[in-house]
Amino acid sequence: MAGKTLYDKLWDEHVVRQEEDGTTLIYIDRHLLHEVTSPQAFEGLRLAGRKPWRVDANLATPDHNVPTTELKGGPETIEDPISRIQVLTLDKNAQEFGILEFKMGDPRQGIVHVVGPEEGATLPGMTVVCGDSHTSTHGALGCLAHGIGTSEVEHVLATQCLIQKKMKNMLIKVDGQLQPGVGPKDVILYIIRNIGTAGGTGYAIEFGGQVFRDMSIEGRMTVCNMAIEAGARAGMVAVDEKTIEYVKGRPFAPTGELWEKAVAHWQTLHSDPDAEFDVVIEFDGSQIEPQVSWGTSPEMVIDISGGIPDPDQESDPVKASSMRRALEYMGLKAGMKATEMPVDYVFIGSCTNSRIEDLRAAAEVVKGRKVSDRVEQALVVPGSGLVKRQAEAEGLDEVFKAAGFEWRNPGCSMCLAMNADRLPPQKHCASTSNRNFEGRQGAGGRTHLVSPQMAAAAAIAGHFVDVREYL
């Protein structure tokens, strides 16, 4: 019998019961909640007279609607009345059902996918879900983590389980050594560009190979975060010494004897050498350049040394029509060089790239330089209160502010513009977020996905530029 993949192991450990047709009840170890996708689930519980199955498995924090500018007081002072209601509703629900919440103003509050690992609330080997597609982030710790809809949020609250069928196994193997100036974001954009936004549909993706072994845990989070942009609900990386080192000492991580026992188990969380994957895709990491998206889908990505492709050269008519539509929406022309694309706004933040290493990488480029006059607004939004505090202790806030960036409070911010941070129509934004869909950062806004270093370099130049010229 062939060995097991990491996904097989995580799946098998969480099966509560399985029907003959493969329909399975899977146990959920950790449930993360935020204010946008939970109110209807709590309301459903209330209407059915149900209680949460296991209150202590849940952790809540508001992030999508949270203002990133200084407030006069708590959430009751949020200017937008409907954002305010949503945040206050989460506070009320967490209080009523007895769920731990890191509220606005608590330094532990932040983007739910930054907070979970930071607190040790997500641990290797767990099943982790949240009503948010970027829950795949937590797979970086060797978890089975994926997004769910609101009905499933209610289902997990009520039963601590989900009804699922097993996905297929995909291994994306990137070997070799990354060039200086090329980071985790470039790697994942490069992968999506090659396999497409539906390339991973139906699969759990394991990221393996030298590039991911060499990568930090935060870098792996950036990669797993965008597995969903490749169509896969779950992305994951095997546990290694870096994972264990990362988890050690975090507030919710085990200690003492329990720690030793946990570590012994976590060390088994990797695919067996003879494990069989349904699909294996390999890339050479040394060939990856800094990447930038030009269109309105996360697969519309080019090398910074490249140019915008021509829809007339595309043989698939559905694809060609999407490209034409994207060019029109973005106000760009086929054949234009990546470095000719303008930048009006810069956003460094989001669950993809708002951790301390992201901020350090951006600050390294920004240090001693000025944001271009062309750029109307440049934002840095740390992923959590603790990331912000750490960055300030290292003086990164001063580096950003001196260059002309605004230094904000934690939240999802301009990644999806549910709070007041919005990209105006037709403005081009160098953004470290994860989606360049039409209107994502604000109605009519034009998003270009890049790494934190590339966003920083674009802010300085006023157009996209190869960050390697700035290092």
Partner 1 sequence: MEKFARLTALVAPLDRANVDTDAIIPKQFLKSIQRTGFGPYLFDEWRYLDVGQPGQDCSNRPVNPEFVLNQPRYQGARILLARENFGCGSSREHAPWALKDYGFDVIIAPSFAEIFFNNCFKNGILPVVLPDETVDQLFREVAEQEGYMLTVDLAAQTLTKPNGEVIAFEVDPFRRHCLLEGLDDIGLTLQHADEIRAYEARRKQEAPWLFVHLKEVAEKYNQV
Q: Which residue has the tokens 């769920």?
A: 99
In Å, how far are 172, 347, 454 from 285, measured between CA atoms? 12, 26, 18
427 lines the binding site for partner 1 (CB under 8 A)? no
19 lines the binding site for partner 1 (CB under 8 A)? yes
Minimum distance of partner 1 from residue 179's CB (angstroms): 30
Cα 405 to its chain centre, rounded Å, is 22
Minimum distance of partner 1 from residue 163's CB (angstroms): 6
Applying the rule CB under 8 A, the residues between 244 and 273 that interact with partner 1 are 251-254, 258-259, 261-262, 265
Q: Which is nearer to partner 1, 62 or 183 (CB)?
A: 62
Q: Which is nearer to partner 1, 10 or 467 (CB)?
A: 10
Task: Show the binding pattern over residues 88-127: x = contacts partner 1 (CB under 8 A), - = does not.
Answer: -x--------x-x-----xxx------------x-x-xx-
Among 3, 12, 23, 245, binds partner 1 (CB under 8 A): 23
Q: Report residue 187 as tokens.
A: 């790697």
148 lines the binding site for partner 1 (CB under 8 A)? yes
3-state secondary structure of 225: helix
Minimum distance of partner 1 from residue 420's CB (angstroms): 12
420 lines the binding site for partner 1 (CB under 8 A)? no
Closest CA to 59 of 156, 159, 164: 156
Runs of H (alpha helix) within 384-445: 385-393, 396-403
Query: What is the rounded distance in angstroms from the CA atom of residue 75 to the CA atom of residue 66?
Result: 8
Closest CA to 137 of 228, 230, 64, 50: 228
Considering CB under 8 A, how many residues would be counted as binding partner 1? 90
Minimum distance of partner 1 from residue 384's CB (angstroms): 11
Q: Which is nearer to partner 1, 86 or 453 (CB)?
A: 86
Query: What is the rounded distance in angstroms from the CA atom of residue 146 to the CA atom of residue 234?
Result: 5
Q: What are phi and psi of 77, to 5 degrees?
A: -100, 10
Q: Which is nearer to partner 1, 130 or 465 (CB)?
A: 130
Q: Which is nearer to partner 1, 5 or 86 (CB)?
A: 86
Query: What is the rounded distance in angstroms from the CA atom of residue 44 to the CA atom of residue 306?
Result: 51
Among 202, 311, 342, 462, binds partner 1 (CB under 8 A): 202
165 lines the binding site for partner 1 (CB under 8 A)? yes
Q: Which residue has the tokens 């750029």?
A: 375
Choose the stretch contacting partner 1; rule: CB under 8 A; options: 45-53, 174-182, 348-356, 457-465. Answer: 45-53
Closest CA to 450 of 327, 336, 296, 301: 301
Q: Which is nearer to partner 1, 125 or 209 (CB)?
A: 125
Q: What is the Cα gyration radius of the chain?
A: 21
131 lines the binding site for partner 1 (CB under 8 A)? yes
Query: What is the rounded distance in angstroms from the CA atom of residue 249 to the CA atom of residue 269?
Result: 20
Query: What is the rounded distance in angstroms from the CA atom of residue 369 to the CA atom of residue 461?
Result: 10
Minimum distance of partner 1 from residue 343's CB (angstroms): 22
Query: What is the rounded distance in angstroms from the CA atom of residue 236 to the CA atom of residue 217?
Result: 11
Q: Which is nearer to partner 1, 292 or 386 (CB)?
A: 386
Query: What is the rounded distance in angstroms from the CA atom of residue 261 to the CA atom of residue 364?
Result: 40
Neighbouring C-beta atoms of residue 201, cutoff 10 Å: 13
Task: Show the binding pattern over residues 367-406: x = contacts partner 1 (CB under 8 A), - = does not.
Answer: -------------------x--------------------
3-state secondary structure of 355: coil
83 lines the binding site for partner 1 (CB under 8 A)? yes
Minimum distance of partner 1 from residue 308's CB (angstroms): 18
Q: Which is nearer to partner 1, 57 or 236 (CB)?
A: 57
Q: Which is nearer to partner 1, 308 or 460 (CB)?
A: 308
Query: What is the rounded distance in angstroms from the CA atom of residue 61 to the CA atom of residue 440?
Result: 22
E-strand stretches of 40-164: 58-60, 100-101, 127-130, 144-147, 161-164
Cβ–Cβ under 8 Å, residues 219 and 355: no
3-state secondary structure of 18: strand
Choose the stretch contacting partner 1; rule: CB under 8 A; options: 219-227, 316-324, 335-343, 462-470. Answer: 316-324
Minimum distance of partner 1 from residue 470's CB (angstroms): 32
Cα 128 to its chain centre, rounded Å, is 14
Among 154, 186, 344, 357, binds partner 1 (CB under 8 A): 154
Q: Which is nearer to partner 1, 39 or 342 (CB)?
A: 39
Choose the stretch contacting partner 1; rule: CB under 8 A; options: 49-57, 179-187, 280-288, 334-342. Answer: 49-57
Q: Which is nearer to partner 1, 130 or 140 (CB)?
A: 130
132 lines the binding site for partner 1 (CB under 8 A)? yes
Query: What is the rounded distance in angstroms from the CA atom of residue 7 to the CA atom of residue 448?
Result: 32
Minimum distance of partner 1 from residue 438's CB (angstroms): 6
Choose the stretch contacting partner 1; rule: CB under 8 A; options: 36-44, 368-376, 394-402, 458-466. Answer: 36-44
